[in-house]
Structure 1
């Protein structure tokens, strides 16, 4: 049965200390070496575990790298539980912008996205282990706003999410323009007339 940190294979239960060592090693090596030069052997050596240990928990290098990224950063981009829908959305977008402005998150994320263009396994891991859960988080936020009458009932949730995150990722991956909380505020403010009832 799959777990959030990879599939647990048969045999001994995973050691939390070893798991954390593998995730830390993968993050450090991704930042230091870049993804093309990174291998399971490198991760195992840095973590002080055997390669077989890593393969018991993760099926591919892509799965290790995505879990390493999400383990470190996913909790920092969740939407808050309290407040009106637009305020919660603004805070969530600010959190993403702030994270993407942080070198220890920005560099590995760009490397993962770039490599995913030529690596189907990594692309699938990126969607399944990071992007899908972020979209689901915002979808729930928008659905709650619609239910509460704060957002328009006819909103196309997928398009709204694409507009917001497409703008962020365009700056991150294409234009190189600044991503910061002030930009996040301007982005949500520009969409507010379309979103409100």
Structure 2
């Protein structure tokens, strides 16, 4: 999951990577994920779809977990930061909406679930794939909370790490794992609960 959009570092030395080849590989991987889930993601299939040799794919992403993780965590998105001019409720609504809608996408959802399952128990690989993106996302959340506290919008005892866990965990569970269809106003419901929990009394 990267709300910071930090990319997995290039894993090979030498000539710069061809961005067009990267794009073709990722586009093919997104199609496979969206249509068949994580099990359908295979370098042989990508090679057939793109006519790019498997060796070139492996040089960029040594395993399909690395490739899926880039799809799950990349994309140029970061947590929106609008609390200074739009207020607390707008800030929470944008955060909740971005997280929820991102992980409801078939390709990203399949990539995220696949990475979680395939790296279970391998803390070294989990750290390699997720540490930088999670650290960046938590730092972004902490910055937003600090601004909200300074503006008198967020209670002084609000823990940004706990807020991150509560929002991201809740929204990812509903987007990725729950069998219940979310109500149309699900993001608004989550927003209201979060605002009620973190706002100063004057803001409630």
Question: d(CA) in 2 for partners of 1:194 and 1:186?
Answer: 12
CA deviations 1:53-73 (Å, max 9, x no partner) are 22333333222111133344x
Question: d(CA) in 1 for partners of 2:66 and 2:183?
Answer: 29
**TM-score normalized with structure 2 length:** 0.76
Residue 88 of structure 1 and its aligned partner are, at CA, apart by: 1.0
Matches within 5 A, 1:39-188: 39-72=42-75, 75=77, 78-81=79-82, 82-117=85-120, 123-124=126-127, 127-128=130-131, 130-179=133-182, 182-188=185-191
**TM-score normalized with structure 1 length:** 0.78
Question: d(CA) in 2 for partners of 1:122 and 1:24?
Answer: 24
Query: What residue in structure 2 maps to residue 193 of structure 1?
Result: 196
Q: How many residue pairs are counted as aligned between the two chains?
A: 193
Question: For residues 40 and 159 of structure 1, do their structure 2 counterparts lie closer, same or farther at Cα, with a shift above 3 Å needed?
Answer: same
- Secondary structure of the residue aligned to 2:185 is helix
Question: d(CA) in 2 for partners of 1:94 and 1:64?
Answer: 25
Alignment RMSD (CA, Å) = 2.9
> 8 Å contact 2:34–2:110 — kept in the other structure?
yes
Q: Which runs of 5+ in 1 are unaligned?
A: none
